[in-house]
Amino acid sequence: MSRASSLLVAALLASACNSKSAPSPSEVAQPVELKRQAAPTQPSAPSPADPSAAHTQSAAPAERQFGAAPTLAGDPVPVSAVLAAPEPHVGKTIKCEGKVARVCQAAGCWLELQPEAGGEGLRVPMAAHAFFIPQDAVGQLAVVEGELKRRDLPDAQKAHYAGEGMKAMGPLSLEATSVVLR
């Protein structure tokens, strides 16, 4: 139901509760009209003659945050650097950045983080299924905080992940506590 329809229904109910007769059409339309006047107006489109105006009005895509709030300061480590030299990071909580290559299509309980240029990905399960990632995250940049772990997956777990579309079956995983999609 649209906001205008909701307001119309609310006005009808409020008017009906306060009077013994049905409200007139002008009484019903009044709250909707007031709402329209109070709503912010959209900025007009930039003039084609002023290309700088188009740049200043384009908004950056909104970030979406999942799990706990990010806590680590500083720049994230590119996932390509983590995959190339994981040892300094294993067993530590890190902030890692990359492109979302895949997301669990069953529940959003894992994602694969890969370098922006493509290539091998890093398995990123959502820590203890504490939160989930939407399937529309594929292709977005992500900053993930969590503990980098090294452990071989049992065959049954590999089969389970493969059934959900995962390809990153290596021993590295980043147990996500926070994911910010950009």
Q: Compare 14 and 155 and report the one with higher pLDDT.
A: 155
pLDDT of residue 61: 62
pLDDT of residue 62: 85
Coil vs helix vs strand at 125: strand
pLDDT of residue 167: 94
User: Residues 66, 68, 71, 75: what is their CA dihedral angle, to the nearest 10 degrees?
Assistant: -20
pLDDT of residue 6: 37
Residues 68 and 146 sit within 8 Å (Cβ to Cβ): no
Q: Compare 151 and 57 and report the one with higher pLDDT.
A: 151
Q: 3-state SS string over 137-153? A: HCCCEEEEEEEEEECCC
**Which pair of structure tokens corresponds to residue 144?**
């993930």
pLDDT surpassing 90 at residue 146: yes
User: What's the mean pLDDT in 104-124?
Assistant: 94
pLDDT of residue 60: 54
pLDDT surpassing 70 at residue 151: yes
User: What's the mean pLDDT in 134-157?
Assistant: 96
pLDDT surpassing 80 at residue 11: no
Coil vs helix vs strand at 80: helix
pLDDT of residue 138: 96
Residues 64 and 140 sit within 8 Å (Cβ to Cβ): no
User: What's the mean pLDDT in 126-155?
Assistant: 95
Q: Which residue reads 């205008």 in tokens?
A: 4
What would the pLDDT profile of 31-64 be if each residue is shown by its tens digit? 323 233 333 333 344 444 444 444 444 455 689 9
Measured between alpha carbons, how far is 75 from 174 in angstroms, rounded to an integer?
Answer: 17
